[in-house]
Amino acid sequence: MEGTEASEEGGTENAGAEEGDTEENTHGVLPEEPSGVTKLEYEDDQIKVTVEAETTGIIPEGAALKVVPILAESEETREQYREVEEKLLEKAEEETYNIAGFLAYDISFINDKEEKLEPNGEVKVSMEYKQAAIPEEVKNAETDAKDMGVTVMHLEEDEQGEVKEVVDLSHVPQAQEEQGIQADGAAGVNKIETLDTTEGQEVQKTEFLTESFSAFTITWVMMLEVESNITFEYVDESGNSIPGHPGLSEEEKQELEEAISGEYVIQLDEWVKKPIEGYTFEKYILKLSDRDVQITSTVTFGIPNVQFQNFTDNTIVLGKNGAIVQIVYKKGESSGSNPKETVPTIDSASKGVKLFMKNYKYSIKG
């Protein structure tokens, strides 16, 4: 695994070194300045890491920023590297991708006793490479790096310092009781604000949000061959099929499949909402295993999930098992015509996730 060339022991920078103050102690920690720090920086020959908080008090008083590249060839980090690799591979078993390679870093706050500290709230971490980086495994893989996805993962730890979960920061699960979403409709949020890569998928910069520190990885993934079914059902208010309505034609299904393969976001209003004589369109319903959720017209087709929005600005994510969406009509006046329009694509890179549809296909049913 090719990582950065920073010191194998990592480095630390104190919470408040004043400009021009260069004297360091044996730990490489610069002298403290009064509390109220909202920004810490670490820099070596390969990378600059910045941690920022919106308000004072989030970065603990007197804290220093420590960054340790986790390298397979380093005696000090070899064991941790193996654990990181093992945890990433375990996560991939539950997903629709394989791990191609990763760059890993242990990021933390420490006090003057070298004890680790956690932020007292959400912080933004920025990692900017002085030269674009990519793991050797990815360079030498049979699959071209251009056909891989790139994301940031966090190996979250428990109070004993053991890895309890590997979280893809492009979709961080949120508490179901907060979101009102249950079972297979898991809600989540994208914590990656920036993920810049070259055409060859070498990483240049990433910015992400976190409320805790431990190991973070920039991870390259190879998508598996997966087909996910999206079924559209035209029903009345009672959930019964509308008599005599055939649903989407084969031509319409093919057009929609082609649109999804080239677009990141589509509007149901423009693709599946149809005028039906004697009926008026009312709403879209997403069928979950334990409940129905009313959704908006916007659908995001990513990898490996399809994402819907409800009316409280929450994201409902369904995995490779696909989804059933009901287009609900009320008996009454006919709804007007609904010509298709070109839907502008969303810049997925600016959203923090590189999406590649090459090995992922959505089939439209209904």
48 and 66 Cβ atoms separated by less than 8 Å: no
pLDDT number for residue 319 = 56
Instruction: Name which of 94, 44, 37, 92 is nearest 61 in CA terms.
Output: 37
Where do the structural domains in the chain lie, given as residue ranges? 11-223, 226-365
pLDDT number for residue 315 = 62
Cα–Cα distance list, 348 to 92, 127, 201, 202, 356 (Å):
22, 19, 14, 17, 10
**DSSP secondary structure letter of residue 199:** T
In tens digits, the chain (366 residues) has pLDDT values of 444 333 344 566 555 444 444 444 434 454 444 457 999 999 999 999 999 999 999 999 999 999 999 999 999 999 999 999 999 999 998 887 899 999 999 999 999 999 999 999 999 999 999 999 999 999 999 889 988 889 999 999 998 889 999 999 987 765 433 433 333 444 457 799 999 999 999 999 999 999 999 999 999 998 776 666 788 999 999 999 998 888 888 888 888 877 776 556 788 998 899 999 999 999 999 888 778 889 888 887 655 556 777 776 566 666 556 678 999 999 987 654 444 443 333 333 333 333 333 344 556 666
d(CA 77, CA 6): 12
- 342 Cβ contact partners less than 8 Å away, ≥ 6 residues apart: none
In the chain, what is the greatest distance between 2 CA atoms, to the nearest angstrom? 82
The whole model's pTM is what? 0.62
pLDDT number for residue 87 = 97
DSSP 3-69: ---S-TT-EEEETTPPTT-----TT-PPPP--S---EEEEE-SSEEEEEE-SSTTSSPTT-EEEEEE
